[in-house]
A and B are shown apart, each in its own frame.
Chain A
Amino acid sequence: MTRNSHFIPLCSLDAVANGDIGMGYLPDGRRVAVYLVAGNVYATDDRCTHGNSSLTEDGCLEGHIVECGMHLGTFDVRTGEAVGPPCTKALRTYPVEIRDGQVMLSDASLVAELKA
């Protein structure tokens, strides 16, 4: 078992500018949005819970708040909570950490599930 067996790389940290949104992929092909805010990294589902829109493609990050470009609904990237209309359903969030310059998914049970 390697040191990183409980982790799944989502994207390279270099690919995410501070204060901006990067794109990562889960092993099942789903896209996740990766946010770098003041040196802290967060990850959520890429798909807005309201319209059929991609947060990495059309979203805009301001502090911890991501605004979906399609209908201007907002979420707190730390908790996934929907904070501005028309969004009302929370975004799924993923625990991540930075290892060896990679943004890694760090939830052991989720990692096991996705690797299974």
Chain B
Amino acid sequence: MSKLQSAERQSVVIVGAGLAGFNVASALAQQGYAGEVTLVGDEPWQPYDRPPLSKQLQLDGDESQIWLSPELPPKVKQLRQRKAMAINPYRKELRLDDGSTLPWNRLVLATGTRPLRLAQLDGLPRVLTLRTLDDARAIREALTSVASLLVIGGGPIGLELAASAAALGRQSTVVEKSPRLMSRSAPAAMADVLLEYHRSCGIAIHLSRTVVALDEGTKEAVLDDGQRVPAGLVVVGIGVRANDELAANAGIACDDGVFVDGWCRTTAPDVFAVGDVTRQRNPVTGRFERIETWANAQGQARALAAIWCNPGEAGAYDAVQWFWSDQGSARLHCAGALTGEQQAWRVDSAGGRVLVHWSGGLVTGVATLNATRDFGPLKKLIVPRATITPEQFSAPEANIRALVQQALAA
């Protein structure tokens, strides 16, 4: 590159205005990035936060709290209701659905994911999914006129929504095809406690069952064992697939997710990706995974901005992955890999539960249910690989926070 070229202002185009895209733009602006930044999103709204969509927004309809803040400064150009159609990685251009093209020096893909659908229910009325603000509004609207909600899929979003509907007085049912709840994201022992909790709140949960048909007349769903369950509204929450077609069509390596390294680089020069759409190496498991969490979308995006603004100091992104899920009054937190060969439980005086996993004597994962106070401290043990022993952790008089502080100081 000639000196003349390198002195030109860099032009960054970010595709996707969710949490990850917003955070790249926001962090670049905050850190005084000299280039031009354009954020392209296909929705009409300003960037918003998704966690409230299954909870607060359903309960009180208050949309004022969902907008991501602080608002992006005017120097970030925002294109709304514009869909990116194709990347030309050689000419470094992005083609949009209005036929225009945006030139870029650096392109960031933050295109997220979309909900999987069930072929046997696709296109039926009263069958919805939850990803966007429009989806959340449609569900809220539908819930006002039905007596019951059927959620297909016992993952975090489905369970949060079922709990919200139950709190609104709707008859809530969850049908999950695997033998337990949260099979992809939480340890079995926590899932069992959550199952009891949701049932105690009046939510009917059918495990190892699938929905085979909807009866439009009775507004019921028919399960594979012939049972009928109330289904005034059906929401399908069985996972997501990555919106990686833009990248794949440009010849960038993808497999239900865009492969990136710790510097958020894809296999095309100057094309980066962040957030749910990425497939990255999880530093705890060592595997390439798609990490669909709020913390990853936020952290990976901020890491990319730091790498650009401060290349000498910023290291590769290798944060320990974690998530929360607020289901009714249940507060679930999980971090790291809950697959260690050794594990121990604690139940605190208020009934909160803490689960720690060890592998080779080191803490690899932590999960808490209604014990939020212990989660943050224990999570800190996963990164520096300081450790406490299962015996220390399990001692009845143990003060978790003090133990963690000692371990980190040692």
Chain A residues in the interface with B (C-beta under 8 A): 51, 53, 57-60, 67, 69-72, 85-86, 88-89
Q: Which of B80-88, B217-225, B368-376 contacts A (4 or more CB under 8 A)?
A: B368-376
A96 to B137, CA, bound (A): 45
Say yes or no: A70 contacts B331, CB within 8 Å: yes
B69 A88 Cβ-Cβ under 8 A = yes
Which of B70, B294, B331, B373 is close to A86, meaning CB atoms less than 8 Å apart? B294
Chain B residues with Cβ below 8 Å from A71 are 324
Chain B residues with CB under 8 A of A58: 372-373
Interface size of B as a range: 10 to 19
- List the B side residues contacting A88 at CB < 8 Å: 69-70
**Cα separation A116 to B49 with both chains bound (whole Å):** 40
| Contact flag A60-B69 (CB < 8 Å), given A53-B372, A85-B298, A86-B298 | no
A72 in contact with B298 (CB, 8 Å) = no
Query: B376–A72 contact, CB under 8 A?
Result: yes
Q: Does B377 contact A (CB under 8 A)?
A: yes
Given contacts A53-B372, A86-B298, A60 and B401 within 8 Å (CB-CB)? yes
Contact indicator per residue, chain B 66-92, by CB within 8 Å of chain A (1) or not (0): 000110000000000000000000000
| Chain B residues in the interface with A (C-beta under 8 A) | 49, 69-70, 294-295, 298-299, 302, 322, 324, 326, 331, 372-373, 375-377, 379, 401
Further pairs besides A70-B331, A85-B299: 7, Cβ < 8 Å: A60-B376, A67-B376, A69-B376, A70-B326, A70-B372, A86-B298, A89-B69
Give B69's nearest chain A residue, CB to CB: A88
Say yes or no: A70-B69 contact (C-beta < 8 A), given A60-B373, A60-B401: no
Q: Which residues of A contact B375 (CB under 8 A)?
A: 69, 72
Give the distance in Å from the alpha carbon of A85 to the alpha carbon of B302 in the complex.
10
Q: How far is the CA of A73 from the CA of B40 in the complex (A)?
A: 28
Complex Cα–Cα for A50 and B295 (A): 14
30 example contacts (A-B, Cβ-Cβ < 8 A) are as follows A53-B372, A57-B373, A58-B372, A59-B373, A60-B373, A60-B376, A60-B377, A60-B401, A69-B372, A69-B373, A69-B375, A69-B376, A70-B324, A70-B326, A70-B331, A70-B372, A71-B324, A72-B295, A72-B322, A72-B375, A72-B376, A72-B379, A85-B298, A85-B299, A85-B302, A86-B49, A86-B298, A88-B69, A88-B70, A89-B69
The distance in angstroms between the C-alpha atoms of A36 and B295, with both chains bound, is 29
In whole Å, how far is B242's beta carbon from the nearest beta carbon of chain A? 23
Bound-complex Cα distance A60 to B376 (A): 8
**Distance of A58 Cα from B322 Cα, bound (Å):** 17
Closest to A88 in B: B69
Residue numbers in B under 8 Å from A89 (CB-CB): 69
Task: List B contacts of A60 (CB < 8 A).
Answer: 373, 376-377, 401
Alpha-carbon separation in the docked complex, A57 to B299 (Å): 26
Residues of B within 8 A of A59 (CB): 373
B324 — which chain A residues lie within 8 A by C-beta? 70-71
Q: Please name the residue on chain B nearest to A67 by beta carbon.
A: B376
| Cα–Cα, bound, A97→B306 (Å) | 39
A-chain residues with CB within 8 Å of residue B299 when the two chains form the complex: 85
Give the interface centre of A51, A88, A89 by most chain B CB atoms within 10 Å. Answer: A51
Give A51 to B322 CA distance when docked, in angstroms: 17
From A51, which residue of chain B is reached at the shortest CB distance? Answer: B326
Q: How far is the CB of A64 from chain B (nearest CB, A)?
A: 16
Closest to B404 in A: A60
Complex Cα–Cα for A115 and B298 (A): 43
* Nearest A-chain residue to B401, judged by Cβ: A60
Complex CA gap A21/B372 in Å reads 15
A53 contacts which chain B residues (CB < 8 A)? 372
**Whole-angstrom distance between the alpha carbons of A53 and B331 in the complex?**
11
B379 proximity list for chain A (CB < 8 A): 72
Complex CA gap A94/B299 in Å reads 31
| Across-interface contacts of B49 in A (CB, < 8 A) | 86
Distance to closest chain A CB from B263 (angstroms): 20
Which residues of chain B come closer than 8 Å to A67, judged between CB atoms?
376
Expressed in whole angstroms, the Cα–Cα distance for A66 and B302 within the complex equals 21
**Whole-angstrom CA separation of A70 from B298 in the bound complex:** 16
